[in-house]
Structure 1
Amino acid sequence: MSKRHRPVLVVTNLLDESADVVIRVLNARAVPVARLDPGVDVCDGGAVAATLGPAGMQGHITTGTRRIELGDVRSVYCRRPTAYSPPAGLEGAAADWTVHQFRWGMGGVLAALPRCLYLNHPLRNRTAEYKPSQLTVAHQVGLATPATLITTDPQAAREFCATQPGGAIYKPLWTSPYPDKEGRARTVWVSVVDAGDVTDAVQVCPHLFQAKVPKEFDVRLTAVADKLFAVRIDIDGSHLDWRKDYSQLHYAAVPVPVGVAGGIRAYLHEFGLTYGAFDFAVTGDGQWTFLECNPNGQWAWFPEEIRDPIAQALADQLQKGLS
């Protein structure tokens, strides 16, 4: 099969707006696209038959509407698929066992397709999601990083917070819902913390504390290979974490300092990434401080004039595939 007839495989759920935008661009270019949500399409009546042979992983995935030949895939856009679920009627250990087999079986097949580009490879994404690793690599490649403590020691946390001249903040090491006293799922936002706020509950699990950056504004920088799209984010109000209320945000494209651009490209190289959504805090004197990088971060909520160039750059990579 010629390259122009080989499909781009988009692995994600049906409500993924970022994937929708990229698929529209690929459709406009007449690039064939196959969309797959394995946690739904395969778990609910579909099938996979994958064989490892001389040409690598071959075979097919069938769903209710399509058949995907594994050896023909040009590139894979790894986004946000639905979590695997057990077949109806299975419970307990048997249900857990089938979910694990789906995760490691289907996940392994989709991570081992021959002759195709991954954006990003799912194993690269996973490695790059650990915040301690992110901060370490960012520091190594020359990006400014805030003083950071990761600890289960309440006294160490108190001492750290007390010795930060500009104050300290707390942020979760992984974003996931946290139940409040009524059992409702809540988001844990980045928040200012004083030494006196730290309790012995810190010893229950690792906590991340950082020096508070005296920022003038935030930057979300979306990197697609060698193309960098930096957006200044200003907030109406005093939210430390701009994700708390998108209705109060204002956006403007900004240039990327040369040193920051070099650090970002080195960072992507260290993790083996093609894509990354970087967050920076920028001070009044122009210092860009690295906060974190989501290797699979969102971008489709931006205004059209910012969003569309990112979509075009992603489509360029997926259409090109491996050189």
Structure 2
Amino acid sequence: MSAVRPVLVVTMIDDPTADLVIGELHDRGVPVVRLDSGDFPATLSFAATLTPHGIEGTLSTLTRTADLSHVRSLYYRRPSGFTFAHLDEQDARFAVTQARYGLGGVLASLPGCLYVNHPHRIGDAEFKPSGLAAAAQCGFRIPPTLVTSEPDTARTFIQAHGPVTYKPLSTPLYQIGGVSCTVEVGEVTVGEIDERVAGTAHLFQHRVDKVADVRVTVIGQQVFSVRIDSGLLDWRTDYDRITYTVVEPPPGIVDALHRYLDHFGLVFGAFDFAVDGTEGWWFLECNPSGQWAWMEPETGLPMVAAMGDLLERKTA
């Protein structure tokens, strides 16, 4: 790969993980163009021509310009949304749509580009029912799971598979008093189910009698498995209680990880497992845009370097 081919990093301004990866690429002499969809059109512009050879043209920020036909790889993290606050509601809605399908369509169609991950494939993989169905097909063990809007069905499931947890199917921005909050995973009983369940879709899942959790981060062909001991149902609620241990996956898990990623067309995934008393691993979910860099200083695993290798395409 020619050193002049840049890596595009698409993310919001406040992204410490992206900062680490960009620093790694900078140290390797790999050019990087960082952008956020929220910067368009104020400080981000593009001009793309469709040719028989694919998209050609340029994308420009305040400090960088990328040749769209020579992008080495695109690291799609967590960009903010398009905003057109200076327009009235109807015009802003129109402008957002044009930006999404215009700039978004160009970024999703770069010739010869490695996507980590492709934004369309991320969208596919973010549907939890699809992910659980694929996990079962790929050979993972999954807990009994129900997705429903029917209160009676939820009660019957809890009676049959209790203890049961409720999990959000997605995690949009949720604020209480102006503070961003995480919708926690929580145990639910039959008595807590009422007609409000009929108001939208809900995911209920048998609670694994777990002794620990495992986060497995797959970066290209490299697999990093970290056991998380916290004593919590949802370890994300208190990071100060966590201890980390590097572990080897049980037989068959690594092959299943790659089958899962291949199913969705991904090259990166952050997998969560619950570990039961027999050391059996139960698949919970895979986040195609999950966080991972905070585990490197806790474990010494060379994860930032692995992401640098993937984006530099050292093995391509």
Q: What TM-score does the superposition give when structure 2 sets the normalisation length?
A: 0.95
Residue 268 of structure 1, CA deviation: 0.8
Match of 1:120 among 117, 121, 126: 117
Within 5 Å, which residues of 2 pair with 1:59-138? Answer: 59-86=57-84, 88-138=85-135
Alignment partner, residue 272 of structure 1: 265
Q: Does the residue aligned with 2:279 lie in a helix, a strand or coil?
A: coil
**Given that residues 116 and 321 in structure 1 are in contact (C-alpha distance below 8 angstroms), is that contact kept between their aligned partners in structure 2?**
no
Match of 1:311 among 300, 304, 307: 304
Residue 257 of structure 1, CA deviation: 1.2
Q: Indicate how the Cα distance of structure 1 residues 153 and 259 shifts in structure 2: closer, same or farther if over 3 A, else same.
A: same
Residue 313 of structure 1, CA deviation: 1.2
**Given that residues 177 and 188 in structure 1 are in contact (C-alpha distance below 8 angstroms), is that contact kept between their aligned partners in structure 2?**
no
Alignment partner, residue 146 of structure 1: 143
Alignment partner, residue 283 of structure 1: 276
Residue 298 of structure 1, CA deviation: 0.4
**Given that residues 69 and 110 in structure 2 are in contact (C-alpha distance below 8 angstroms), is that contact kept between their aligned partners in structure 1?**
yes
Task: Select between 209-218 and 69-78 the one with higher mean Cα deviation.
Answer: 69-78
Match of 1:189 among 180, 184, 192: 184
CA distance in structure 2 between the aligned counterparts of 1:70 and 1:196, rounded to whole angstroms: 57
CA distance in structure 1 between the aligned counterparts of 2:173 and 2:59, rounded to whole angstroms: 33
Cα deviation code 1:208-250 (max 9, x no counterpart): 0000100000001001122110111111xx5311111112111
Which amino acid in 2 is paired with 1:245?
Answer: D
Alignment partner, residue 230 of structure 1: 225
Consecutive unaligned residues of structure 1, counting only runs of 5 or more, are none
Alignment partner, residue 14 of structure 2: 15
Alignment partner, residue 37 of structure 1: 36
Note the aligned Cα RMSD (angstroms): 1.7
Cα deviation code 1:125-174 (max 9, x no counterpart): 11011000000000001100000000000000011011115x10000000
CA distance in structure 1 between the aligned counterparts of 2:12 and 2:179, rounded to whole angstroms: 24
* Alignment of 1:25 onto 2:24: yes
**Given that residues 224 and 301 in structure 2 are in contact (C-alpha distance below 8 angstroms), is that contact kept between their aligned partners in structure 1?**
no
Q: Does the residue aligned with 1:5 lie in a helix, a strand or coil?
A: coil
Q: Indicate how the Cα distance of structure 1 residues 102 and 321 shifts in structure 2: closer, same or farther if over 3 A, else same.
A: farther
Alignment partner, residue 244 of structure 2: 251
Q: What TM-score does the superposition give when structure 1 sets the normalisation length?
A: 0.93
CA distance in structure 1 between the aligned counterparts of 2:281 and 2:11, rounded to whole angstroms: 33
* Alignment of 1:48 onto 2:46: yes
Q: Indicate how the Cα distance of structure 1 residues 291 and 262 shifts in structure 2: closer, same or farther if over 3 A, else same.
A: same
CA distance in structure 2 between the aligned counterparts of 1:232 and 1:141, rounded to whole angstroms: 22
Q: Does the residue aligned with 1:163 lie in a helix, a strand or coil?
A: helix
Q: Does the residue aligned with 1:160 lie in a helix, a strand or coil?
A: helix
Alignment partner, residue 261 of structure 1: 254
Which amino acid in 2 is paired with 1:253?
Answer: V
CA distance in structure 2 between the aligned counterparts of 1:10 and 1:147, rounded to whole angstroms: 38
**Given that residues 301 and 307 in structure 1 are in contact (C-alpha distance below 8 angstroms), is that contact kept between their aligned partners in structure 2?**
no
CA distance in structure 2 between the aligned counterparts of 1:52 and 1:135, rounded to whole angstroms: 38
Residue 183 of structure 1, CA deviation: 7.8
**Given that residues 3 and 29 in structure 2 are in contact (C-alpha distance below 8 angstroms), is that contact kept between their aligned partners in structure 1?**
no
Which amino acid in 1 is paired with 2:67?
Answer: E
Q: Does the residue aligned with 1:89 lie in a helix, a strand or coil?
A: coil
Residue 258 of structure 1, CA deviation: 2.0
Q: Does the residue aligned with 2:293 lie in a helix, a strand or coil?
A: coil
Alignment partner, residue 212 of structure 1: 207
Consecutive unaligned residues of structure 2, counting only runs of 5 or more, are none
CA distance in structure 2 between the aligned counterparts of 1:45 and 1:233, rounded to whole angstroms: 41
Q: Indicate how the Cα distance of structure 1 residues 31 and 275 shifts in structure 2: closer, same or farther if over 3 A, else same.
A: same
Cα deviation code 1:39-88 (max 9, x no counterpart): 21x321432111001221111112222212111211111111121101x5
Q: Indicate how the Cα distance of structure 1 residues 135 and 50 shifts in structure 2: closer, same or farther if over 3 A, else same.
A: same
Q: Does the residue aligned with 1:222 lie in a helix, a strand or coil?
A: strand
Alignment partner, residue 3 of structure 1: 2
Residue 292 of structure 1, CA deviation: 0.3
**Given that residues 176 and 187 in structure 1 are in contact (C-alpha distance below 8 angstroms), is that contact kept between their aligned partners in structure 2?**
no
